[in-house]
Chain A
Amino acid sequence: MLDRLGFPQPWLSALLFVTWQFLSEGVSGASIVMGLVLAMVIPQITHGFWPERPAFVKAWKMPAYLLIVLKDIVAASFSVARLILSPRPPRPVFVCYPLQLEHPLAISILASTISLTPGTVSADVSDDQTLLLIHALDAESDQEIIDAIHQRYEKRLMEMFQ
């Protein structure tokens, strides 16, 4: 039914609507109308970029995941800061990370997480979406990074999406 009303992505529409209410100073008639228009138009314009409906199976695990990421951002920021200030040169490395996730949205969440946590940037995804190229600022070995990402993030994302 939501499809016929012009909401092909109900969750995206809801998110846009709520965000618009926060952005406009206080909820009013005008902000509700504008929010509804945005919630209808933006998902339809961007429709081609969404390959399929996001298959969030266990969305309630997301807040715990975000907390872990936030904690890692803080902890790892300190280690990057220490590295920048220390005279020792960094040991940069390109790592090919074998992806076990299959869902495109899950892969992009993982790639964003990797880029946000200091010390690693995800540079590219292979065309068949099985490898992620990661640049790490300072690492002993490739395996160390692969294990850390798999244990901390990918496992949790796999639980959410499969």
Chain B
Amino acid sequence: MNPFAEYLIAALLLLGGAFSLIGALGLARLPDFFTRLHGPTKATTLGVGAIVVSSVLYFSSLGEGIGISEILITVFLFLTAPVSANMLAKAAMHIGVKTTDDTRGNPWEQ
């Protein structure tokens, strides 16, 4: 395999792993439900994105054609992540989850 491709793939894997780890740390460190929602839906988006890109690069550098299925995984991930985040936020607002005291503004009632 091309050494340049190898370095690039390794770098992307490290980046993806780092972002997934930071997303998990965010889940543990952030103060309330709504802020915790940001960690896993976001930092992880880039984490999985980087890992998928490295997978595409790996299989295309082996000469097995471009991995369409990896691209589809990314598309589905990007389609579903906002929907689940929205559902979680709505459910939390519905049952009135407490926010931290320094949150400005209020979730509305309707």
A residues engaging B (CB < 8 A)?
Answer: 19, 22-23, 73-74, 76-77, 80-81, 84-85, 89-96, 111-119, 121-124, 126-127, 133, 135, 137, 142
Interface size on B, residues (CB 8 A): 43
Are A23 and B69 in contact, CB atoms less than 8 angstroms apart?
yes
Residues of B contacting A117 in the complex (Cβ-Cβ under 8 angstroms): 42
Are B37 and A84 in contact, CB atoms less than 8 angstroms apart?
no
Shortest beta-carbon distance from A75 to chain B in Å:
10
B89 closest partner in A (C-beta): A123
Q: Which of A74, A92, A142 contacts B32 (CB under 8 A)?
A: A92
Are A92 and B68 in contact, CB atoms less than 8 angstroms apart?
no
Are B90 and A115 in contact, CB atoms less than 8 angstroms apart?
no
Are B102 and A115 in contact, CB atoms less than 8 angstroms apart?
no
A80 and B41 CA atoms in complex are apart in Å by: 11
Shortest beta-carbon distance from B56 to chain A in Å:
13
Are A92 and B43 in contact, CB atoms less than 8 angstroms apart?
no
Q: Which of B69, B72, B107 contacts A123 (CB under 8 A)?
A: B107
Are B38 and A118 in contact, CB atoms less than 8 angstroms apart?
yes
**Most B C-beta atoms less than 10 A away, residue of A22, A89, A117, A137:** A137
Say yes or no: A121-B68 contact (C-beta < 8 A), given A90-B30, A92-B102: no
Are A92 and B100 in contact, CB atoms less than 8 angstroms apart?
yes
Cβ proximity bits B13-33 to A, threshold 8 Å, 1 near / 0 not: 000001100100110011110
Is residue B98 contacting chain A, with contact meaning CB distance below 8 A?
no
Residues of A contacting B22 in the complex (Cβ-Cβ under 8 angstroms): 81, 84-85
A21 closest partner in B (C-beta): B68
Are A77 and B42 in contact, CB atoms less than 8 angstroms apart?
yes
What are 9 contact pairs spanning A and B, CB under 8 A? A73-B45, A84-B39, A93-B104, A94-B104, A118-B45, A121-B86, A123-B93, A133-B107, A133-B108
Are A119 and B35 in contact, CB atoms less than 8 angstroms apart?
no
Shortest beta-carbon distance from A31 to chain B in Å:
13
A138 and B109 CA atoms in complex are apart in Å by: 23
Are B93 and A92 in contact, CB atoms less than 8 angstroms apart?
no
A126 and B107 CA atoms in complex are apart in Å by: 11
Residues of B contacting A94 in the complex (Cβ-Cβ under 8 angstroms): 103-107
A113 and B90 CA atoms in complex are apart in Å by: 17
Residues of A contacting B86 in the complex (Cβ-Cβ under 8 angstroms): 111, 115, 121-124
